Amino acid sequence: MDRILIPDGVKRCSFPIFSLWILVLLGVIGWGVAAGAAVLIKAMNLTGLNDWFGFGAYITADLAIIALGAGAFFSGFLYYGLSKFFPALKELGKIINLAVVVGFVCYTGALAVLLLEIGQPLRGWFGYWHANVHSMLTEVIFCITCYAIVLVIEYVPLILENRKVSESKPLSLLGHSMHDVMAIFALTGTFLSFFHQGSLGGVAGVCFARPYAFREGLFIWPWTFFLFILSAISSGPAFTALICKAMETVTRKKLVDRTVYELIGKIEGGLLSFYIILKIADTANWAFNMSPRFGLKLTDYYWGPYGIWLLVAEVGICGVLPALILISPKGRKSSFLLFGAFLLDIIGVSLNRFVMTIPAIAQPVMPFDQWKIYIPSIYEVAPVLAMLAYCMLIISLSYRYMPLFPRETELNR
Amino acid sequence: MSEKGHAQSNIRLGMVIDLDKCTGCGACSTACQAENNISYRPDESQKLRSITWMNIYQLDNKKAYPDFKIAFLPRPCMHCDADHHSPCTFVCPVNATTRDENNGLVTHIYPRCIGCRYCMVACPYHARSFNWWDPTWPKQMESMLSPEVSPRMRGVVEKCTFCHHRYNKARAKASVDGTDPNKAIYTPACADACPTKAITFGNLLDEKSEVAKLSKDPRAFRILEKLKTKPKVYYLSKQDWIRNLADNSLT
């Protein structure tokens, strides 16, 4: 039924099966949109947030999804920016289209959820009009907007490559012209996204009256600014690779060469090792140098469900362990270890965003206050799940109707 | 310019609360509620969503009877005087909350607030509340609302202002009377209502003022001094166990 839209030489599942999958996704999206609309109309009292937990599931999901979407800008940077100097990186061209789609859905999805996060969504534009240059959130607002625009520009040529769309000469010409200048956008996006990731880290790190989150740093930027960038680039491409592997499993096709995964594993291994060393140094400085100055010790930051297991899981199991696997050639050769390490890596970065958002504010700062526990309501869970379903929807549509993987035809002959 | 990078001013409005005098009667909190048109709902059992500008904490020394002791600690906004910025002001993305360097008051512009709650997250004193619902009062109370304080709409943050509408009034009166508005003095509703006169308010930089003298009292302390937030609310107590509860300590 939709055969004329499917790229030449590739096989896709039948239209009814695809429609059924899309319907499931649309169902989840509809549920999330309804929950989101209820929050907008009836107010944020529907959420599990309160005066203790100003930030909750929306922010955690946004931070995590934006970090994982970093595969787009960083892969773009490696492919468009560095592959001229390091030809081995040209291999990333085989997965770059998927990276762009993943980045696009992650950022646009995060933007949609962000709208629910503010109590006065109609005043969202005040962020541009009354911008406070001292606020990290201002940096976030400007960077996320600009980068989302860049991602749209990067995504458009992919749409224009569709078999049917490219029959139109002007559109085909536009697509090719945009491809020619894509390196400029990729590098612009890299700059914006580096700043964006950093400012998200800064949001927590600059809170100097919140010892759990506060970090000293360089000039106006706390160390979390740099650690967020590093953790994003050391997990984003792994996320793209894991999505690609999941697509291969579901479609039972080979979409990229094995060498692409191993190259990403090698890059991520190096970056993750570098990040985790700095993260351990940062944690040690925070626990044994900064905290005593505030009259606190490491154990004061962990309690009940927000126990020390968070630190062990984030830094040890989901940090050191995948780093060791990924820097080892043997580890990268084993599919189980390679993709297991990718999975741990993305769990680790998500855990980091959770820790810097929820436990960081669950901790009482005044000695006579008590720890509190945050439980998100269904009105927070549904939009977050809808965001994930939206990501899957766009990726599914892109895979079906656009030539995402240049080597797909060859690999499946 | 001061070393904080802001224009020097000789007014720093602040408060001293004598915890040894406080009985925990709640008059300050009630007066604040009425003065500032703080809305409330029929069911206020969710304390973490209750709007209270002057929250009263009950402290105890964690000892068994007969050594058991309690004290009450009223907690308004601390109007932090930290260098450069208060913890809450510099994080606001839309400049809705700022510190007036002419008098040190940390203010909040409700019609500009987008309700991101970043200021609430940044405040270690939990002095800020979010309007989770549309503001409501019992019908018969609506005619008793103060015309001098705007009610806050749903979806914005609010907090203690040190009754700055009273300050504006005092300054306006001084101008009309031909005296220096910068020397205008006023009393916030909480201090007015305190039956034991535990709350003293005034200009901390005016050495002749009662508040300045009390802030230098050997019994004076501030909460969370180690964080360098520099609150403009001082507490007085001669009881060590209360003073020890003011800040985190490794011992």
ipTM of the complex: 0.93
Does a cis peptide bond (omega within 30 degrees of 0) precede residue B138?
Answer: no
For residues A302-326, one letter each, b for 16 or more C-beta atoms within 10 angstroms of the residue's C-beta and e for the rest, the string is bbeebeeebbebbbeebbbbbbbbb
Q: What's the pLDDT tens digit per position in A150-188?
A: 888 888 888 888 888 888 888 888 888 887 788 888 888
- pLDDT on residue A299: 95
Residues of B within 8 A of A208 (CB-CB) are: 82, 87, 227-229
Residues 144-183 of B with CB under 8 A from A: 153-157
Q: Is B44 exposed, middle or buried (0-12, 13-18, 19+ CB in 10 A)?
A: exposed
Work out the percent of chain A whose per-residue pLDDT is above 70.
Answer: 100
Q: Is the pLDDT of residue B1 over 50?
A: no
Q: What's the pLDDT tens digit per position in B163-192?
A: 999 999 999 999 999 999 988 989 999 999
Residues of B within 8 A of A368 (CB-CB) are: 57, 59, 73, 245
Q: What's the pLDDT tens digit per position in A190-240?
A: 888 888 899 999 999 999 999 999 999 888 889 999 999 999 999 999 999
Residue B6: which pLDDT band, with cuts at 50, 70 and 90? low
Total domain count, chain A: 1
Cβ A292 vs Cβ B250: under 8 Å: yes
Q: Per-residue pLDDT averaged across B67-71, rounded?
A: 96
Please state which of the ranges A107-121, A177-191, A267-281, A315-329 shows the lowest mean pLDDT. Answer: A177-191
Distance, in Å, from the CA atom of B203 to the CA atom of B214, rounded to the nearest integer, reads: 11
- CB atoms under 10 Å from CB of A333, counted, come to 12
| Token reading at B133 | 């619902």
Specify the CATH number for the domain of residue A253: 1.20.1630.10
Distance, in Å, from the CA atom of A141 to the CA atom of A52, rounded to the nearest integer, reads: 24
Does A60 reside within a domain?
yes
Over chain A, what is the mean pLDDT? 93
- pLDDT on residue A76: 85
Residues 26-55 of B with CB under 8 A from A: 46, 48-50
Does A7 reside within a domain?
no
Whole-model pTM?
A: 0.93
Q: Per-residue pLDDT averaged across A317-344, rounded?
A: 97
Does A6 reside within a domain?
no
Nearest CA in chain B to A361: B121
- pLDDT on residue A397: 95
Going from the N-terminus, what domains does chain B have, and what CATH number goes with each? 13-244 (3.30.70.20)
- pLDDT on residue B2: 47
Does A2 reside within a domain?
no
Q: Is B24 on the interface with A (CB under 8 A)?
A: no
| Token reading at A288 | 């044994």
Q: What's the pLDDT tens digit per position in A247-264?
A: 999 999 999 999 999 999
Domain range enclosing A23: 13-411
Q: Is the pLDDT of residue B3 over 70?
A: no
Distance, in Å, from the CA atom of B191 to the CA atom of B199, rounded to the nearest integer, reads: 5
